[in-house]
Structure 1
Amino acid sequence: MAPRLLALALIGLLAAAPARADEAFDAALAAYDRGDFAAAAQGFERLAEAGNADAMTNLGLMYLHGRSVARDELQALALFSQAGAAGSPHALFNLAGMYRDGTGVTQDYRQAAELLRAAAEAGHAESMTALAIFHRRGWGVEKDADAALGWYRRAAEAGFPPAQVELGRMYQKGEGLARDPVQAVAWYRQAAESGFPLAQFNLGTMLDEGSGVERDRAEAAIWYGRAAEAGIAGALANLGRLYEAGDGVAKDEVEAARLYALAAERGDLSAQYNLANLMLGGRGVAEDPESAVAWLRKAAGRGYERAQTMLGVLYEKGHGVERDGLEAARWFRSAAQRGFAPAMNNLAYLYAEGIGVARDPARAAEWLGHAAARGDEIAQFNYGWSLETGEGLTVDKVGALMWYGLAAAEGVAQAVERGRALAATLSESDLDRAEAMMRDWRPIQGPVE
């Protein structure tokens, strides 16, 4: 999970106006809310002429976006400037947005930052958050991670959900402060309880993973459900996964397929892959290998290693596609080069058997070694076999025993059998060396260099 940075945008009072005793202001706002933009513009214009800064801001937004009035960036700029001079932080925020984007004025990050600072110091949480972004990126101000963190914290403490989510993300990742998943959960929960969908998704993820909080898939499903109602693709995908597994909710593959489909249409790669798997097996949805392949292609084309590997399997078997070893090798290689161990193991198999590629025991052993080093227990067994038999590399029985032992620890029954047989042929010193190598072994991650 990677929560998005809040992007500075032109937002205004129209969407969330403060409580007003002024009936004329309320009437203009109500007209806007019901889509009567002409009446809203007339009402705000009368109030703006009387010096109402909030009305100036709203009228400026209507000019900026061409709502009922002709789009006029200069008029919007003038109204925001006038309202800002009268002390409206909302106007200063919108004016900063115009300077940031070069809308109606020459782009000027420094001026935008000064306007945001004035609004932030007046307590405007959106401006605090935007100013944090400016400090993080060095827009018109010194690049300063501490200053960015300070403004995010002030905005979060003021109750602004996007800042609470960003502060939670920083605690979750240990970015700019000590990693603290408990604090991350606390900030996500505050924003989630205020109805912010991204926070609901992030909180669901923390509960799902048991990070910073006791794992609770039932509560995770609740938060995923709320975020899913807002169309968050990751929430739809993760809720589908819980329904498919019957984890935290009653098992329901039909509902899982429905949720995966919604998330897949929104571009979620895991959902595209999971929906394809259901289609391949006819679980929760009609069996449809051709559609499954189409979804796998979408995810594989965007670099999703699981989809690339599954697509390789289908090409190797000729399921849903014409059998094509060369194409299978291409997809396995793409995922393998990204560091995906199952694809490395499958590519090694193709080299060992000469399927889609020239038979090459040395290349097969090389890819098995990469996969074994990344913790794939099947590859560990196969690599141990290669070392024991000298298939594609130099015989190394101590090394073979180490890999058998690691695979056996992960439950590979054949590794237990081969390990016992091999151990019976080795000296005590060799056994001690193999045991020491097992203790010292650590998996590696990342792409193949």
Structure 2
Amino acid sequence: MKAVFAGLFLTTFMASTTAYAADAATDIAAIPSGEWLALPGDVLRKRLNLPQRCGEFDAAAQAGVARAQTVMSSAILNRVCGTYSVEVGEDLARKAHASGDLRALVLQGNILALKGDKAGAYRIYSSPRLAQVPIAMSAIATAAYWGEGRTVDRQLAREYWANAAALGDFSAMTQLAWMIMSDPIGKRDLNRAEQLFSRSARNGHLEGMASYGSVLVSGAFGESRKAEGIGLLRQAADLGNARGTSELGRVLIYGLGMAKDIPQGLALMKKGGDLGDRGALNELGIIYRDGVIVSRDRTLAVSYFQRAAKAGDPWAYRNLHHEYGRATASPEERAQAMIMLEKAVALGDREALNDMGVAYELGKLVPTSLGTAFDYYRRAAAQGSVSGHVNLARMYDFGIHVARNPAAAESEYKLAIAAGSPTAAKSLSDMRQRLASEAQAARALPATTQRSAGLSGPPNAYDIRAALMREWATAVLGPMAQVNYDQGFTSNGFWNTGMHSAYAVANPTCSAQGKGLYRCTYKLWVTNTVYVFGSPMKSPGKAGVTETATFNVQGGVWRSPSARSVALAHARQSAAMQRSTGDDERTRRENQKRFYCPGNGANPLDTQAFC
């Protein structure tokens, strides 16, 4: 075998390798089989005092000791001993496996994954010989979680990590703790998560140290423990852990528990990304995209997103979707925008499901389909997406695609509130106010709730109310109008603006004007509410006002040509209110133009009202 460390050691040191090899072989043999097949590589290397004893274990590997060959393969591939070489690491792992070491078989799977053959790696991890090997179980869980070599299955990942953790695998303990931390707030067992993080970190697992440190710095286990978390991050970073390095950089960038040092923080985050932390690469993309901490650099931001996505980060795919979907993006980028989002969905990202819903609801890069949007929101909510719960609640709240269902909306809003969403809390409060407003309008005068017997005679109160609502909806909402005549209200549910109107009509008297045209006088009660970015405003309403308008049957329903101009005037009033409120004028105008102005399939009346 080619000596891995030729030229690295003094002649006097090399002369004694036989004795050192014997010592190394003895130390390896002393490790119980259960621990040998459960300990993460960094813990094992620490127990064997690497890199200080690299020479001894290299000599033992050359002498044919299978476990030493496995150790050296892992040490070379992790840049702990010697010169990094996939070929040398693979050769050592193959020889160790041939000698019967199951840990080396798992390592061969890791090498295949490193070379890009995720499916081949998964076949090794799931082989019957490794069925009860903790490090293989943990590898299966990782593959199932990220969809590497197989389909995404988060529940299967959780089960395998739980089983591996029970058998003493510290890597599995760390990952299981993260899954617990991502549970909905009401179901989150913080004590269990901390026990797992702590045990993994105490036993020298670098990923456990970095993870525990980052959670402590976040304040999840108490604001007073941030210094403890920073200490763990420093330890992990000093030992070359990617997450520990980038998380320490984040602490310095944002001043989390210590003074800010943005240049040093960025340097550490970039180092962590280079060491393999895909989350750090994605965050660097966000930093350069937003231009708050550093000067905005879209080219560099996209480059970081691409690197993170290539490494399998679903959030990076979502960020690429948003970047490529911008109006200023190149045609080539826009063609890739939905592909990026689909890849995030394939990786099991619940927020990508929500973003899919937004795309189909607004018709952004795909044809508008409220049914498809509803299905994506429902899937996102089922997987715990807070945004998914909020958007699903909004569709129930305003009756978008489905029948209006305040009870279902309240249930979804409450689930989002339990997860800490202030938007959901505000939306639930607004919905309750609207329901109370509708009830008050209904009590003002009992409106006729039955349609007239036919369409040949004069319209009754119900028909007049429905006709007025149709004109209001057409003028204000265009093709997105959601009208429920039996409930006496009309509304829309755009994510950035919403409008709601409750109607009551009474005491109509009508006279025929010829050719199915009727002129009617009636009393009208209207309660209108306009929503801009979730904030409700009362627009001009009416309380028992006597009005006169003409009505006839068009397309099998009652319409009111003379009420059309009144409705359009109301639309303009509402638009003026929207334009005059809020503190982000630029964002509001951009959103209004995007959804309401020519070139975006806008209704002509929308164009007059909003552009």
List per-residue Cα deviations over 1:270-308 (Å, max 9, x = no partner): 100111111112344442211111111122233322111
- Shift in CA distance, 135/218, structure 1 to aligned 2, threshold 3 Å: same
**1:263-342 correspondence runs (5 A):** 263-318=272-327, 324-342=333-351
- Contiguous gaps of at least 5 residues in structure 2: 28-53, 73-91, 105-128, 136-163, 180-190, 441-611
- Shift in CA distance, 229/33, structure 1 to aligned 2, threshold 3 Å: farther
- Shift in CA distance, 378/63, structure 1 to aligned 2, threshold 3 Å: closer
1:40 aligns with 2:8: no
What letter is aligned with 1:40?
F
Higher relative strand content: 2
List per-residue Cα deviations over 1:378-414 (Å, max 9, x = no partner): 4434333323444333443432343355556732234
Is the contact between residue 237 and residue 263 of structure 1 (CA under 8 Å) also seen in structure 2? yes
1:137 aligns with 2:110: no
User: Could you tell me how far apart the structure 2 residues matched to 1:369 and 1:105 are?
Assistant: 47
Tell me the percent identity: 20
- Shift in CA distance, 262/97, structure 1 to aligned 2, threshold 3 Å: closer
**1:17-416 correspondence runs (5 A):** 35-36=9-10, 38-42=11-15, 76-77=63-64, 94=68, 103=95, 107-109=99-101, 136-137=132-133, 184=196, 187-188=199-200, 190-191=202-203, 197=206, 200-201=209-210, 203-205=212-214, 207-208=216-217, 216-318=225-327, 324-404=333-413, 406=415, 410-412=421-423, 413-416=426-429
Is the contact between residue 281 and residue 308 of structure 2 (CA under 8 Å) also seen in structure 1? yes
Superposition RMSD in Å: 5.0
What letter is aligned with 1:340?
D
Cα deviation for residue 420 of structure 1 reads 2.1
List per-residue Cα deviations over 1:52-96 (Å, max 9, x = no partner): 9659999xx97995x8xxx995xx35xx7xxxxxxxxxxx96499
User: Could you tell me how far apart the structure 2 residues matched to 1:285 and 1:266 are?
Assistant: 22
Cα deviation for residue 173 of structure 1 reads 8.9
- Shift in CA distance, 137/294, structure 1 to aligned 2, threshold 3 Å: same
- Shift in CA distance, 42/170, structure 1 to aligned 2, threshold 3 Å: same
Aligned to 2:400, what secondary structure does the other structure show?
coil
What letter is aligned with 1:384?
A
List per-residue Cα deviations over 1:203-261 (Å, max 9, x = no partner): 52463466888862222112212221222101012112222332112233333322211
1:420 aligns with 2:416: no
- Shift in CA distance, 233/415, structure 1 to aligned 2, threshold 3 Å: same
List per-residue Cα deviations over 1:95-122 (Å, max 9, x = no partner): 9989x96749963459x9xxxxxxxxxx
- Shift in CA distance, 57/321, structure 1 to aligned 2, threshold 3 Å: farther
Aligned to 2:361, what secondary structure does the other structure show?
helix
What letter is aligned with 2:315?
R
TM-score (norm 1): 0.56
TM-score (norm 2): 0.43
List per-residue Cα deviations over 1:142-168 (Å, max 9, x = no partner): xxxxxx99997xxxxxxxxxx9x5797
Aligned length: 325
Is the contact between residue 309 and residue 316 of structure 2 (CA under 8 Å) also seen in structure 1? yes
What letter is aligned with 2:422?
G
User: Could you tell me how far apart the structure 2 residues matched to 1:104 and 1:357 are?
Assistant: 53
Aligned to 1:356, what secondary structure does the other structure show?
coil
Aligned to 1:287, what secondary structure does the other structure show?
coil
| Structure whose CA Rg is larger | 2
